[in-house]
């Protein structure tokens, strides 16, 4: 068996290629990190391995970006409330659909599942959202994603694998629908719910386009999320430096570069923090995706 | 005594009835939610058949029949461009869909399990960062004037003026597909990795007995073992051909590359919301939805015929 561990030439090449791609995946994050802690002058010359001329300037300057604090708050708010809402709504729907006493069970199940395939297109969706007054409303972040067909499939499949006797004996003891849901179904489907929590949370944190679509103009107030603010900041390529000379303008441009690096890092930091702990759920999630609807 | 049994039965029956009613009642709010967000927008398809302008009610608009559909197909420079871009980018992505399988095989060949695990974990990170972040990374690492790429290439004397992959029209598709591969490769490999672990070990042992080397084992055992997974993913990709995503192309497309990077999702938004051509954009959206459904049924049909098993 030990001889199997011997490194052959193709094996070594294989490992080198894998290392190279791993490096390509990690380096951009590291690059942003080291540049955000370096001085603008050093960034201009190029910072590639470790922070040069260490400074916290970029992070202290973040406060100058209008709306940053509120956007961080909104991003966390939509992530937390959106995740709770999606998990509760999707799992409760799945639980009801899994109940054998539900009349017209097949029809009702399909009523939810068809939404995965039927897509009205963006404009009708936009007009509907406008008509029900969800524009410039925090709820547009979390309500449309609350009941998701795909999650319903996953949870329902899981619930149906729970032995029916457990639910029946609880019913004998007089437990109602809510009680069974909260005290039997939820605890027993923890593994699948954990996957859904992780996926929904990452998704909520990363989504920015609903912000661009539905939060417009002055009425949007402080409802923008962090990703959108970063997008806007990256878009404004030219830093307006009225009355400044070319050199000063260039310096401004560079320091705005470190500012963007810092902002990017703030945006990615929560994901990197939870990633090591969530990794097994991500892996499990994609495997569950293989189940049939 | 018999009387008692009957009342018991009646009460059990009515208890069951009660439960049925309860279940449906509890389900109603959730049905309302999907109705609002998925079914009601379907009525918006009628906007494609009228001259709609914002602020008007549907019945106040003039009915124009198929005017906007005709406009799409006859006045078709935009349509052909968008269709070409969408299909080209999707096809290139589909061509690259063998890469995750190859990557998974490469990982599975590594004898040091801990190393393999680390590679798999690290390479799936890009899948979980947002497209805005990808935009930020591409912008700072590759395409701004003093980006790392430009500094290094110019330092080495390989190029004389800064390059910018984001404004390069000639290679726009290749750049976007590469970025997409970078983002999804590690994550998409996971499903193949688990397919590899579920291949019957006896097949490898039999191959060992036959004196097969590593390459032969990959060719005759591993690859056949991955084919059905690959096939399902391929069909799903085909059914998704017209939706190559809004985020990537809206963010990474620049004024210079729009000719190559305008896809259905971005075009509908640009036409509809930015240019206020609601009816035209709705018609375009209908076209996209209908073709997508057709592709989906085709994929399902193909799967049934070839695997004896539908994918949905």
Tell me what pLDDT residue A256 has. Answer: 81
- What mean pLDDT is predicted for residues A208-213? 94
Which SS3 state, helix, strand or coil, does residue A118 take? coil
Residue B244 in this model has a pLDDT that exceeds 70: yes
Min Cα distance B12 → chain A (Å) is 12
> Is there a contact between A44 and B146 if contact means CB atoms under 8 Å apart?
yes
- What mean pLDDT is predicted for residues A58-66? 87
Contact by Cβ (8 Å): B98, A226 = no
Residue A182 in this model has a pLDDT that exceeds 90: yes
Count of CA atoms in the C-beta half-sphere (13 A) of B171? 10
Contacts of A292 (CB under 8 A, 6+ apart): B310, B311, B312
Residues B182-196: tens digit of each pLDDT = 999 999 999 899 899
Residues A140-150: tens digit of each pLDDT = 999 999 999 99
Within a domain: B312: no
Pair B88, B45 in one domain? no
Residues B296-307: tens digit of each pLDDT = 999 889 888 887
Within a domain: B69: no
Residue A291 in this model has a pLDDT that exceeds 90: no
Min Cα distance B181 → chain A (Å) is 11
Residue A3 in this model has a pLDDT that exceeds 60: no
**Phi/psi at B147 (nearest 5 deg)?**
-75, 165
Residue A123 in this model has a pLDDT that exceeds 60: yes
Min Cα distance A153 → chain B (Å) is 11
Task: Report the distance separating Cα A221 and Cα A67, nearest Å.
Answer: 9
> What residues in B contact A121, CB-CB < 8 Å?
41, 44-45, 268, 282, 284-286, 288-289
Residue B179 in this model has a pLDDT that exceeds 90: yes
Task: Report the distance separating Cα A236 and Cα B253, nearest Å.
Answer: 15
Q: What percent of chain B has pLDDT over 70?
A: 95
**What is the pairing mode between strands B50-51 and B62-63?**
antiparallel
Tell me what pLDDT residue A289 has. Answer: 59
Pair B33, B151 in one domain? no
Closest partner residue to B191 (CB to CB) among A18, A108, A286 is A286
Pair B136, B25 in one domain? no
Residue A285 in this model has a pLDDT that exceeds 80: no
Q: Which residue has the tokens 């590899």?
A: B196
> What residues in A contact B30, CB-CB < 8 Å?
89, 92-93, 96, 112, 147
Pair B110, B30 in one domain? no
> What residues in A contact B26, CB-CB < 8 Å?
92, 96, 177
**A99 token code pair:** 């109940």
Residue A254 in this model has a pLDDT that exceeds 70: no
Within a domain: B133: yes
Q: What percent of chain B has pLDDT over 90?
A: 59
Tell me what pLDDT residue A240 has. Answer: 41
- What mean pLDDT is predicted for residues A27-51? 89
Taking the Cβ of residue A15 and every Cβ of chain B, the question of whether any pair is shorter than 8 Å is answered with: yes
Residue A243 in this model has a pLDDT that exceeds 60: no
Averaged pLDDT of chain B: 89
Residue B24, domain extent: 2-60
Residue A161 in this model has a pLDDT that exceeds 80: yes
Averaged pLDDT of chain A: 87
Q: In angstroms, what CA-CA distances link A100 with A140, A159, A212?
A: 34, 12, 43
Within a domain: B70: no
- This complex has an ipTM of 0.90
Task: Report the distance separating Cα A26 and Cα B169, nearest Å.
Answer: 28
> What residues in A contact B11, CB-CB < 8 Å?
none
Within a domain: B65: no
Higher pLDDT, B1 or A146: A146
Q: Which residues pair with B51 in a beta bridge?
A: B62
Contact by Cβ (8 Å): A206, B129 = yes
- What mean pLDDT is predicted for residues B254-280? 91
Residue A65 in this model has a pLDDT that exceeds 70: yes
- What mean pLDDT is predicted for residues B106-130? 93
User: Which pLDDT band, with edges at 50, 70 and 90, does B8 fall under?
Assistant: low
Within a domain: B202: yes
Min Cα distance A195 → chain B (Å) is 14
> What residues in B contact A213, CB-CB < 8 Å?
269, 273
Contact by Cβ (8 Å): A261, A34 = no
User: Which pLDDT band, with edges at 50, 70 and 90, does B1 fall under?
Assistant: very low
**A240 token code pair:** 């307006």
Pair B94, B49 in one domain? no
Which own/partner contact pairs does A249-256 have at CB distance under 8 Å and 24+ positions apart?
A251/A40, A254/A40, A254/A41, A254/A43, A254/A44, A254/B146, A255/A40, A255/A57, A255/A58, A255/A61
Within a domain: B127: yes
Pair B172, B54 in one domain? no
Contacts of B194 (CB under 8 A, 6+ apart): A287
Q: What is A67-235's CATH number?
A: 1.10.3720.10
Question: What count of other Cβ atoms lies within 10 Å of the Cβ of residue B137?
Answer: 21
Tell me what pLDDT residue B13 has. Answer: 66
Using only C-alpha atoms, chain B has a radius of gyration, in whole angstroms, of 27
What total of structural domains would you count in chain B? 2
Within a domain: B138: yes
- DSSP symbol at A208: -
Which SS3 state, helix, strand or coil, does residue A158 take? helix
Task: Report the distance separating Cα B256 and Cα B312, nearest Å.
Answer: 40
User: Which pLDDT band, with edges at 50, 70 and 90, does B3 fall under?
Assistant: low
- What mean pLDDT is predicted for residues B25-45? 96
Taking the Cβ of residue A233 and every Cβ of chain B, the question of whether any pair is shorter than 8 Å is answered with: no
Q: Which residues pair with B50 in a beta bridge?
A: B63
- What mean pLDDT is predicted for residues B206-210? 92
Residues A68-105: tens digit of each pLDDT = 999 999 999 999 999 999 999 999 999 999 998 899 99
């Amino acid at each position: 068996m030990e001889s199997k561990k011997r490194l052959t030439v193709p094996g070594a090449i294989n490992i080198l290629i894998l290392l190279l791609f791993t490096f390509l995946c990690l380096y951009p994050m590291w690059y942003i990190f080291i540049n955000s802690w370096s001085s603008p002058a050093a960034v201009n010359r190029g910072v590639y391995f470790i922070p040069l001329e260490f400074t916290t300037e970029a992070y202290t300057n973040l406060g100058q970006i209008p709306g940053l604090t509120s956007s961080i708050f909104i991003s966390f708010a939509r992530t937390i409330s959106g995740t709770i809402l999606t998990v509760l709504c999707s799992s409760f729907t799945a639980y009801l659909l899994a109940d054998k006493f539900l009349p017209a069970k097949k029809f009702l199940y399909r009523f939810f599942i068809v939404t995965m395939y039927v897509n009205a297109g963006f404009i009708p969706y936009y007009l509907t959202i406008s008509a029900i007054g969800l524009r410039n409303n925090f709820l547009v972040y979390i309500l449309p994603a609350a009941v998701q067909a795909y999650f319903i499939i996953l949870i329902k499949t899981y619930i149906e694998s729970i032995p029916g006797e457990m639910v029946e004996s609880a019913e004998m003891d007089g437990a109602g629908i809510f009680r069974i849901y909260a005290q039997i179904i939820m605890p027993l489907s923890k593994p699948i719910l954990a996957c859904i929590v992780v996926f929904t949370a990452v998704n909520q944190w990363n989504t920015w386009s609903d912000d661009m679509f539905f939060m417009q103009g002055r009425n949007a107030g402080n409802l923008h999320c962090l990703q959108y603010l970063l997008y806007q900041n990256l878009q404004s390529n030219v830093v307006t430096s009225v009355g400044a000379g070319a050199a000063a303008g260039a310096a401004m441009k560079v320091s705005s570069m470190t500012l963007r690096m810092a902002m990017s890092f703030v945006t990615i930091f929560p994901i990197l923090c939870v990633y090591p702990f969530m990794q097994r759920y991500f892996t499990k999630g994609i495997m569950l995706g293989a189940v049939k609807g | 005594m018999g009387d008692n049994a009957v009342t018991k039965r009646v009460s059990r029956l009515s208890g069951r009835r009660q439960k049925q009613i309860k279940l449906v009642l509890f389900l109603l709010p959730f049905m309302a939610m999907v109705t609002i967000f998925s079914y009601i927008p379907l009525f918006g398809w009628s906007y494609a058949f009228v001259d709609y302008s914002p602020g008007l009610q549907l019945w106040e608009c003039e009915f124009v029949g198929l005017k906007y559909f005709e406009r799409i197909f006859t006045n078709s420079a935009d349509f052909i461009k968008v269709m070409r871009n969408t299909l080209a980018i999707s096809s290139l992505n589909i061509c690259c869909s063998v890469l995750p399988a190859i990557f998974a095989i490469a990982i599975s060949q590594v004898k040091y399990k801990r190393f393999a695990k680390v590679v798999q974990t690290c390479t799936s990170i890009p899948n979980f960062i947002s497209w805005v972040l990808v935009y930020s990374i591409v912008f700072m690492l590759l395409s701004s004037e003093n980006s790392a790429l430009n500094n290094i290439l110019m330092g080495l004397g390989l190029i004389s003026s800064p390059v910018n992959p984001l404004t390069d029209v000639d290679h726009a598709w290749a750049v976007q597909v590469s970025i997409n591969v970078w983002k999804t490769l590690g994550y998409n490999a996971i499903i193949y990795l688990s397919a590899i672990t579920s291949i019957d070990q006896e097949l490898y042992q039999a191959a060992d007995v036959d004196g097969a080397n590593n390459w032969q084992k990959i060719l005759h055992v591993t690859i056949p073992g991955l084919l059905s997974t690959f096939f399902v993913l391929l069909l799903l990709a085909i059914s998704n051909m017209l939706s190559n995503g809004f985020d990537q192309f809206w963010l990474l497309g620049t004024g210079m590359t729009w000719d190559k990077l305008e896809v259905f999702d971005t075009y509908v938004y640009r036409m509809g919301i930015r240019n206020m051509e609601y009816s035209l954009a709705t018609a375009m959206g209908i076209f996209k939805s209908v073709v997508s459904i057709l592709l989906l049924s085709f994929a399902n049909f193909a799967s049934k015929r070839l695997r004896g098993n539908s994918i949905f």
